[in-house]
A and B are shown apart, each in its own frame.
Chain A
Amino acid sequence: MADLRRPRPAAKQLGRRRDLSAPAGALVRLLLDRFADLAPTVWTDEDTVEVRIDGERNVEVLARLRDDPELNFFMLADAAAVDYGPTEHFEVVYHLYSDLHPAWLRVRARVDRADPHLPTITGLWEGASFHEREMYDMMGIVFDGSRDLRRIYMSPDYRSFPQRKDFLLPDDAADSPAAGVDPLERPETWDLSRFVEAATSSEAES
């Protein structure tokens, strides 16, 4: 099993992908035309078109995607967060559906890891609320302007963000636990020093 633990490629290499000739070519051209002012990076897959934007502009871009009659991405299929590691950034990924185009549209919004703030999109799709609560709960991304940003799975007094990549599972202990982890993000552990102290002092007495 030693092979399983071989070093992973740096997160920067993620997303390097050939630009395939997809059936969604018309959508790519349309996107490049409509969002010329943003100069987004557009990639295609066999059934997915991908747009990368700056996190701050998510509401503006999604509103234009939804309300443009030729784009008509009226349904938010998914909203999720990705952590690219302690030295990298977060990404909030929206998947949209339109009945006019034969492809899913993936909007990847980049978020700074040191200051993970993003405008909420609950004004566009009310149902994004639970997704944003989950992203806050699991990754610690704060959605400004949300009416209901509280933890959804973990208890309200929980203080870590379990899906961050520097939150290690107990059986990952071999991978240098909590090395360089911010106190806020540290997995909750019992402080055992008290017990160790008590045990050693009672030994000394006897």
Chain B
Amino acid sequence: MTSEVRIPDPLHPERTEEARLRAAAGLAPAPSTGGEYAGFESVGLPDRPPQTEREREVYTLDEGEMLVNIGPQHPSTHGVMRLVAKVRGEVVVDIDPVLGYLHRGIEKLCENATYTTVMTYVDPMDYLSSMHNEHAPAIAFEKLYGVKAPRRAEYIRALVVELNRVFSHGLMMGFQALDMGGLTPILYAFINRDEVVDLLASISGQRMLFNFFRVGGVNFDANDEFFSRLGTWRAGVLKTIEMNERILTDNEIFRGRTIGMGVLSGSEAMALGVTGPSLRASGVPFDVRKAHPYSIYSELEFEVITHTGGDVYARYLQRVAEIKQSIHLIDQIVDKMPHGPVQAQVPGIIRPKPGRAYAAVESPRGLYSVYAISDGGPNPYRFRMRDPSFVSLQAMPKLMPGRLIADTMAVMASFDPVMGGVDK
């Protein structure tokens, strides 16, 4: 018998020691698992006993059931993420989302960065709504430092944030179709997205990770050229959105696959912490812009849109309606745009007084909030971000049992999660 060569495991020295002793005694190597998982290693079960009740429930297989890994490298997981689906034939029995493939420790990094440089770290969080990611920390730090952004800065903030929402929801329409096998809408969605992103690049200098918000204002003022480009974009934006609407909204196949699919009632959604368009599609009129008006939203006229279906189709319609609402808000903001400075007098390295601040904004995926604690030093003592798509993912194990595995991606796309934000 040949002795097995093992690389010492720094995390589990006892395993290496056991292997050495077994080899010395002429025994076969120990099986890498024990108990309930013995013999199942080949199908992707974890090589350890279940840690929790829920894990035991998902990973214990009955007769006729098997596990299917969707991801981590899968075109429809909106990033790097794994859904472990327990299936019986084609019917999903249970789902376990496995996260962490994209974890970068952004909170910890922010706690070691100055207040200004935090803005660069939060950008790649939820990379389809970078402006929203920057908005919440900006508000929280202004509360901590006791400074207010000038009115023009607040208007420019609201403007870029709503522009960001337009392309984020527009992309959701495309991805919703893409995940169900329709290729055309995503192409139209990216035409729209590219136009908005060019527009945002002309004001912030960046196409994706904008780094535009500052404590006490914004980085650049909006000039005449920006407004003229905005006007050109405004004249044509509804065309690309409507092209997608014409393909999807009355499409018989699309309706057939989405109506009644993944129905989430209002109370369920609230208990699960689902927020944003997905919650409003279940009939709950919760919108942070109305519930706790921040920035200048108390000066704008708009109603909270809701749908009652609570299914994938309602969540899709909700996004379409909110795109038009955002364009309506952009019109108002441009009309009311005041003149003046865009940045308050703030030193480069700020040291707020000890204290704590909470700020929440309505991101395209829901309630995005920041809880920052200052201890008087140049960097936040604690910087906590609540990402809406992280919480929304908990709806998947609730909605999928009894449904076909092919519909998993349709339901997941309807929550529009972005893994950069989920994994932080």
Binding site for B on A (CB under 8 A): 4, 6, 8-9, 11, 13-17, 45-48, 74-78, 80, 82-83, 93, 95, 97, 99, 102, 104, 106, 125-131, 138, 146-159, 162-163, 167, 169, 171-172, 188, 190-191
Contact = CB atoms under 8 A, between A and B. Distances in A.
Interface of B: 10-12, 46, 48, 51-55, 99-100, 103, 105, 107-109, 112, 114, 143, 270-274, 286, 291-292, 349, 354-358, 360, 367, 369, 371, 373, 375-378, 381-382, 384, 386, 390-391, 393-394, 423-424
Given A14-B354, A16-B354, A191 B393 contact: no
Contact of A15 (B51, B356, B360, B393): B356
Contacts of B390: 130
Contact of B354 (A13, A147, A163): A13
Contacts, number: 138
A4 B378 contact: yes
Contacts of B286: 75, 97
B271 A14 contact: no
B386 A77 contact: yes
Given A78-B384, A127-B274, A163-B108, 6 more contacts: A48-B357, A77-B369, A95-B371, A156-B46, A157-B12, A171-B112
A15 B367 CA distance: 25
A97 B358 CA distance: 12
Given A78-B369, A125-B271, A130 B11 contact: no
B53 A148 contact: yes
A93 B371 contact: yes
5 contacts: A77-B360, A106-B358, A128-B273, A153-B103, A190-B10
Nearest to B11: A157
Contact of A97 (B53, B291, B373, B391): B291
B369 A14 contact: no
B11 A159 contact: yes
Nearest to A134: B390
Give the 3 A-B CB pairs with smallest separation, nearest first. Answer: A127-B273, A148-B54, A153-B100
Contacts of A152: 99-100
B133 to A, nearest CB: 15
Given A46-B143, A129-B394, A154-B103, A82 B273 contact: no
A190 to B, nearest CB: 6
Contact of A14 (B272, B373, B423): B373
B116 to A, nearest CB: 13
Given A78-B369, A190-B10, A127 B272 contact: yes
A82 to B, nearest CB: 5
Nearest to A74: B270
A77 B367 contact: yes
Contacts of B114: 4
Contacts of A150: 51-52, 55
Contacts of A163: 107-108
A78 B291 contact: no
A77 B356 CA distance: 16
